[in-house]
A and B are shown apart, each in its own frame.
Chain A
Amino acid sequence: MSAVPIRLALVGNPNCGKTSLFNRLTGARAKVANYPGVTVERRSGVVTAMESPAELVDLPGTYSLFVTSPDEQVARDVILGKLAGERRPDLLVAVVDACNLRLGLRLVLELRSLNRPMILALNQMDEARRRGISINTAALSQAIGIPIIETVAVNRQGVADLRDALDGYTRQPPVPAGEQVITLSDRQESVEALYDQIESLIKQHVIQPEAMPRWQDRLDALVMHPVLGLVVLFTTLLVIFQAVFAWATPVVDLIDGAFVALGEGVATTLPDGILKDFIVDGLIAGVGGVLVFLPQILILFFFILVLEDTGYLTRAAFLLDRPMRGLGLSGRSFIPLLSSFACAVPGIMATRTIADPRERFITIMVAPLMTCSARLPVYALIIAAFIPEQTVWGIFNLQGLTLFVLYFAGVLSAALIAWFMRRRAAREEFPLLLELPSYRWPMAYHLLIGLRERAWIFLRRVGTIILALSIVLWFLATFPGAPEGATQPAIDYSFAGQLGHFMQPLFAPLGFNWQMCIALIPAMGAREVAVSALATVYAVGEESIDAALGATLAASWSLPVAYAYLAWFVYAPQCISTIAVVKRETNSAKATTFFTIYLFALAYFAAWATYQIASAIVN
Chain B
Amino acid sequence: MNTVISPATSAPALRLDQCAKGARVRVVNLIDQPLFGAQDEHVSLRLKELGFLPGAPLKVIGFGLLGADPLAVQVNGTKFALRRAEAAKICVELMTV
Pairwise interchain contact B45-A188, C-beta atoms closer than 8 A: yes
- A220-B3 contact, Cβ under 8 Å, with A191-B48, A429-B36, A433-B47: no
Q: Mark B32-57, 1 if CB is under 8 A from A, else 0.
A: 00011101011111111111011000
**Chain A residue at minimal CB-CB distance from B48:** A191
Query: Is A322 interfacial (CB-CB < 8 Å)?
Result: yes
Q: Is A288 engaged at the interface, CB distance under 8 Å to the other chain? A: no
CA distance A103 to B56 in the complex (A): 13
- Given A68-B46, A431-B36, A433-B50, A220:B62 Cβ within 8 A: yes
Q: Is A472 an interface residue (CB 8 A)?
A: no
In chain A, residues 224-282, which have Cβ atoms closer than 8 Å to a Cβ of chain B? 224-227, 229-230
CB-defined contacts of B54 to chain A, threshold 8 Å: 192
A323 to B70, CA, bound (A): 10
Query: Contact between A66 and B83 (Cβ–Cβ < 8 Å)?
Result: no
- Interchain CB contact (< 8 A) of A431 among B69, B77, B78, B83: B83
Mask of B51-84 contacts with A, CB within 8 angstroms, 1/0: 1011000000111111111101010111111110
Chain A residues near B46: list those with CB within 8 A: 63-64, 66, 68, 431, 433
Judge whether B81 and A331 touch: CB under 8 Å: yes
- What sequence of 0s and 1s flags, for each residue 409-443 of chain A, a beta carbon within 8 Å of any chain B beta carbon? 00000000000000000001111111111100000
Q: Is B1 an interface residue (CB 8 A)?
A: yes
When the two chains form their complex, are residues B48 and A192 in contact, meaning their CB atoms are under 8 A apart? yes
> Contacts of A220 on B, CB cut-off 8 Å?
61-62, 72, 79
Distance (Å) between the CB of B32 and the closest chain A CB?
13
Are B81 and A314 neighbours in the complex by a CB distance under 8 Å?
Answer: yes
Chain A residues with CB under 8 A of B64 = 226, 318-319, 321-322
Q: Does A322 contact B67, Cβ atoms closer than 8 Å?
A: yes
With both beta carbons as reference points, the residue of chain A lying nearest to B66 in the complex is identified as A322
CB-CB under 8 A from A429, the residues of chain B are 35-37, 39, 85
* Cβ contact within 8 Å between A224 and B65: no
> Among the listed B76, B78, B83, which residue makes an inter-chain contact with A432, where contact means beta carbons less than 8 Å apart?
B83
Neighbouring A residues of B67 by C-beta, 8 Å: 322
Do A432 and B45 form a contact, CB below 8 Å, given A225-B62, A321-B64, A322-B65?
no
Contacts between chains A and B (CB distance < 8 A), count: 132
Q: Does B86 sit within 8 A of A, measured CB to CB?
A: yes
CA distance A187 to B80 in the complex (A): 22
For A225, the closest partner residue in chain B by CB is: B62
Q: How far is the CA of A66 from the CA of B43 in the complex (A)?
A: 11
What are the residues of chain B within 8 A of A210 when measuring CB–CB? 77
B81 contacts A226, C-beta separation under 8 Å = no
Cβ-based interface call for A29 (8 A): no
Residue A195 at the chain B interface, CB threshold 8 Å: yes
- Scan A198-224; emit 1 where CB is below 8 A from any B CB, else 0: 000000000010101000010011001
B5 an interface residue at 8 Å Cβ cutoff?
no
Q: Determine the residue in chain A with the shortest Cβ distance to B52.
A: A433
B interface size (C-beta, 8 A):
43
Complex Cα distance A436/B78, Å?
Answer: 7
A188, B42: Cβ atoms closer than 8 Å: no
Q: Tell yes or no: B13 within 8 A of A by CB.
A: no
Name the residue among B2, B63, B66, B76 with the largest chain A CB count within 10 angstroms. Answer: B76
A191 CA to B3 CA, complexed, in Å: 12
Chain A residues with Cβ under 8 A from B1's Cβ? 188
| Residues in B whose Cβ lies below 8 Å from that of A229 | 65
Contact B77 A66 (CB under 8 A): no
Give the interface centre of B2, B45, B64 by most chain A CB atoms within 10 Å.
Answer: B64
> A106 interface residue, CB < 8 Å from B?
yes
Q: B4 near A: Cβ within 8 Å? A: yes
Residues of B within 8 A of A103 (CB): 50-51, 76, 78
Residues in chain A near residue B85, CB distance under 8 A? 429, 431
- With A195-B51, A227-B65, A433-B86 as given contacts, are A100 and B77 in contact (CB-CB < 8 Å)? yes
When chains A and B are docked, how far (Å) is the Cα of A386 from the Cα of B63? 46
- The answer to whether B37 and A318 have CB atoms under 8 Å apart is no
Question: Distance (Å) between the CB of A185 and the closest chain B CB?
Answer: 11
> Shortest Cβ distance from B75 into chain A, in angstroms?
9
Question: A100, A319, A322 — which one has the most chain B CB atoms within 10 A of its CB?
Answer: A322
Q: Which residue of B lies closest to A356 (CB)?
A: B39
B1-28 vs A, CB cutoff 8 Å, 1 = contact: the mask equals: 1111000000000000000000000000
Q: Which of A100, A230, A433 contacts B82 (CB 8 A)?
A: A433
CA distance A318 to B44 in the complex (A): 21
Report the separation of the CA atoms of residues A434 and B47 in the bound assembly, to the nearest whole angstrom.
11
Q: Which residues of A contact B47 (CB under 8 A)?
A: 433
Chain A hits for B4, CB < 8 A: 188
Question: What residues of B have a CB within 8 angstroms of the CB of A64 in the complex?
Answer: 46, 49
Residues of B within 8 A of A (CB): 1-4, 35-37, 39, 41-51, 53-54, 61-70, 72, 74, 76-83, 85-86
A interface with B by C-beta (< 8 Å): 63-64, 66, 68, 99-100, 102-103, 106, 187-189, 191-192, 195, 208, 210, 212, 217, 220-221, 224-227, 229-230, 314, 317-319, 321-323, 331, 428-438
Across the A-B interface, give the 7 residue pairs with the lowest CB-CB distance, nearest first: A436-B79, A226-B65, A322-B66, A429-B35, A434-B81, A318-B81, A191-B48
- Between-chain CB contacts (< 8 Å), 30 pairs: A64-B49, A100-B78, A188-B44, A189-B2, A192-B53, A208-B77, A212-B74, A212-B77, A224-B72, A226-B62, A314-B81, A319-B64, A321-B64, A322-B69, A331-B70, A428-B37, A428-B39, A429-B36, A430-B36, A430-B39, A431-B46, A431-B82, A431-B86, A433-B81, A435-B80, A435-B81, A436-B72, A436-B80, A436-B81, A438-B79
